[in-house]
Amino acid sequence: MSATIHAIMNSKTYTTNNMRLMFYNGDVDTVCQFLGDQWFIENLVVARNLTVQYDRREWTYQSAPQFTPTIAGYAKAWNQNLVQLTVKGSGHFVPMDRPAQALQMLVNFITNQADYNTPIFYVDTTPKPVISNNSTTTTTDSPQVCTRKESDRVLSLPGFNDTLSFKQYSGFLKGSGTHMLHYWLVEAEQVDPAGAPLILWLNGGPGSSSLEGLFFENGPFRIGKDGQTVYRNPFAWNQFANVLYLESPVGVGYSYSTDGKQPQYTDDLTAAENYAALVDFFNLYPEYATRPFYTTGESYAGVYIPTLSALLIQGIQNGTLNINYKGLAVGNGVLNKRTDMNSLFHLSYYHGQMTHKTYQDVISLCCANVTNEMDCRLDSHITSWNGMILGGDPNDQCYAYIIQEGINILLNEFDPYNLYEQCYTLKTGNGTAPVGDTWTGNNYDSSDPFAGYYCYMNDALAFYMNQDSVRRALHIPTTASTWQADGNIIAIYNQTYPTAEPSFDYIINSKYYNTSNFAILLYTGDADTMCNWMGAEWFTTQYFGQSLNLKLQQRQPWFYRSDPRYINTLAGYYRSYVEKNIDVLTVRGSGHFVPLDRPAQALQMIYNWIQQNDYSDPYALQQPSSTTISGTETTTTTTRSPSASSSTKPSVGNATSAVTFATTRSPQHTISPITINSVSPTVMNPTSAPASVVWSAGTSTPGNQLVTASTKYSPSASTPKTGGVAAHFTGGLLIAVVVSNILL
């Protein structure tokens, strides 16, 4: 390749016709990744003795004049018309992953623009109209008795145009002293709520409302662009569980204190607040005391959930709390600020967020005596972990440099919550505020697959939640303040625990944990930088593996498929500390908010974790596999295991059970219920295979589409495949039946 490029650049055609060479890479591609091409070009530059026209600099994309430019990647140019560009957030197929940026890049290259920031404003990306107005629908039944619980019943939801087939409740739980915490409970919809588990969901912050989880992530509703319309979330967790959303602590969402004062919280005070609210909840809803109960959350809930869990276990063990507590799950959690800090710069460099020089400068300034760059302990230069800006010695060159570069990375260039997310219609003049700030207006365009939901959801929800009709429907008193998605308590919040180790120490060493089959799930979207997957992996390896000396199972991939007709796609990886029932999992392509970025995968993950299934079991196919063989039905089930399998025992020798059916389950493949309709010959001897076998089979897909096939098999032939169904024989026995040509 190098010789070819040299030949092109040395040619008379190239030198006399002002020809140009552009190399561009999506920075998410691993097959032909940008670092490899960058190193190749640098070698080319040295060999040709080229000079730099301009050093590595960002180039931006602007969708319209009224919107703020967003970073599209980086460019570097040399003399002899050579340039290399990266395209932020794109994989191998740049015009598919980032079509607008690709078009701008190509136009500027063809028109010989030195500045790739030059926008092209002739592409019409005007959003289509959305359903307007806001009718109010009611549930099918009404409360019979005006108890406290029934007075919290939500009978209508402004802007929701569908019939509610599940009950929901909104009101206030008693926290510490004069504190009242707002809750919203949604009952299970697709299963009997009386037998379904209970999940608590907490958003983090500190200061983020858990109603963000309800409307943005795993709840039954999504908010419309107009801030008034509400529609269904097809990936809601209340399909199979009752889900409790708690706005905590006071000052978050609608939660308030009757004395009008704003407390100054620590992590321990917040845990006590949440514990008191849950005690009140189980008194108000005693039917949930015996249900399997799981505490879940994300981000700073990496502190909230473990500290709360320790109090719950303490209450159970001392006899003051009688509940069926089964596990905790934390997504992209603040588990250890030190490992997050140490991993951030490596992660940023290998995602194209900083130059090689900057990366080497950090290593040289901070870890001059380290031979392995991954051993660089940036955290040793931090003296205070309380707050968003970490404390340190201002005279420490390393501290000053990493704070400067860290702020630059997290706030000024990339979305810190998702490396590959961008909002292209941020109003001019707003600057490049990080996610979580309030946008000037509803923003419709983004790089995400949900029509820009990520960019307008905060404004839309704030507008919706503060309507008088919504406040009345949710039983919000006039004394409660204006609802905000992200409160200001973070400014006065004392972040007590820079690591979750003390809480996990208590939990894992407790008698209750070791006698109740308690489970822990720590999951991370791999495109997050705020609480990144590498920091989480380093923390769990150091704490669970080294400090607690737990045995780690080999890392396994897990898979998602949206329909039985389609192949499995990689959803991430997981590792297990089996002896303590701890799983550490990544979600591929997701940022900080996994149920928002990967809602289907998140639903499959949390369901399988609670049910103790293999993580790759498709949620849409969760009914136990049953197989009818000549009128005889057998049922197969699976459990989470790297080699999970199930099969029926061979049965041969008579016409009513002529076929032996067996399946081998793996994380990659799943089989639907199969019915063997007919087989000829009807008797197959396991010791002598017949000359040929003709059989027919049928399977029903979730869409009720019947797939059938007939196949003739000869022992000398390869595995027959026809009509999407295949058979495999050994010794005259039918040992596998496969859907979609996938041999299990």
Give yes or no for a contact between 618 and 670, defined as CB atoms under 8 angstroms apart.
yes
- Give the tens place of pLDDT for each residue, 396-439: 888 887 777 766 665 555 677 887 776 765 554 443 333 333 22
The whole-number pLDDT of residue 338 equals 81
Least confident of 211-220, 252-261, 591-600, 685-694: 685-694
Q: Tokens at residue 644, please?
A: 């999970």
Angle (CA) 328 333 339, round 5°: 125
Task: Find the mean pLDDT for residues 597-607.
Answer: 95
Q: Give the pLDDT band (50/70/90) at residue 121.
A: low
The whole-number pLDDT of residue 428 equals 47
For residue 712, pLDDT over 50 is answered with: no
DSSP 25-42: EETT-STT-HHHHHHHHH
Q: For every residue of 717-736, which 3-state class applies, written as one string? A: CCCCEECCEEEEEECCEEEE
**Can 475 be counted among the known catalytic residues?**
no
- Distance between CA 78 and CA 55 in Å, rounded? 8
The whole-number pLDDT of residue 130 equals 39
The whole-number pLDDT of residue 201 equals 98
- Give the tens place of pLDDT for each residue, 53-102: 889 898 888 877 777 888 889 999 899 888 999 999 888 999 988 888 88
- Distance between CA 585 and CA 667 in Å, rounded? 14
Return the CATH architecture of domain 2-110. Answer: 3-Layer(aba) Sandwich (3.40)
Q: What are phi and psi of 563, to 5 degrees?
A: -160, 150
The whole-number pLDDT of residue 224 equals 87
Task: Find the mean pLDDT for residues 477-502.
Answer: 84
Residues near 519 by beta carbon (within 8 Å), at least 6 away in sequence: 326, 327, 328, 581, 582, 583, 609, 612
The whole-number pLDDT of residue 167 equals 96
- Give the tens place of pLDDT for each residue, 557-585: 999 988 888 889 999 999 999 989 999 99
Task: Find the mean pLDDT for residues 459-475.
Answer: 93
Give yes or no for a contact between 453 and 403, defined as CB atoms under 8 angstroms apart.
no
Task: Indicate the pairing of strand 179-186 with strand 242-246.
Answer: antiparallel
- What's this model's pTM, rounded to 2 decimal places? 0.70
Residues near 304 by beta carbon (within 8 Å), at least 6 away in sequence: 202, 204, 248, 267, 270, 271, 274, 297
Higher pLDDT, 539 or 474: 474
Catalytic residue among 459, 528, 597, 617: 528
Catalytic residue among 179, 182, 592, 728: 592
Task: Find the mean pLDDT for residues 103-124.
Answer: 79
The whole-number pLDDT of residue 711 equals 39
Least confident of 24-28, 124-128, 614-618: 124-128
Q: Give the pLDDT band (50/70/90) at residue 186.
A: very high
| Single-letter code of the amino acid located at 662 | A
Share the mean pLDDT of the chain: 76
The whole-number pLDDT of residue 477 equals 92
- Give the tens place of pLDDT for each residue, 368-397: 788 788 888 877 777 777 665 677 787 888
Residue that the structure tokens 């602007």 belong to: 62
Task: Find the mean pLDDT for residues 617-632.
Answer: 46
Q: How many helices (H) and strands (E) does the chain have?
A: 19, 27
- Distance between CA 563 and CA 282 in Å, rounded? 38
Alpha-carbon distances, residue 454 vs 21, 129, 133, 212, 458 (angstroms): 36, 18, 22, 11, 8
**Can 299 be counted among the known catalytic residues?**
yes
State how far Cα 446 lies from the chain centre.
18
> For the chain, what are the domain ranges?
2-110, 337-444, 623-739
Task: Find the mean pLDDT for residues 117-133.
Answer: 57
Catalytic residue among 170, 209, 210, 299: 299
The whole-number pLDDT of residue 456 equals 77
Give yes or no for a contact between 297 and 214, defined as CB atoms under 8 angstroms apart.
no
The whole-number pLDDT of residue 479 equals 81
Quote the longest CA-to-CA distance of the chain. Answer: 91
Residues near 16 by beta carbon (within 8 Å), at least 6 away in sequence: none
Residues near 663 by beta carbon (within 8 Å), at least 6 away in sequence: 625, 636, 645, 646, 647, 671, 736, 737, 744
- Give the tens place of pLDDT for each residue, 268-315: 999 999 999 999 999 999 999 999 999 999 999 999 999 999 999 999
For residue 550, pLDDT over 60 is answered with: yes
Q: Give the pLDDT band (50/70/90) at residue 322.
A: very high
For residue 675, pLDDT over 80 is answered with: no
- Distance between CA 568 and CA 740 in Å, rounded? 11
Q: Which of 160-174, 531-545, 699-713 has the highest mean pLDDT?
A: 160-174
The whole-number pLDDT of residue 3 equals 87
- Distance between CA 690 and CA 340 in Å, rounded? 63
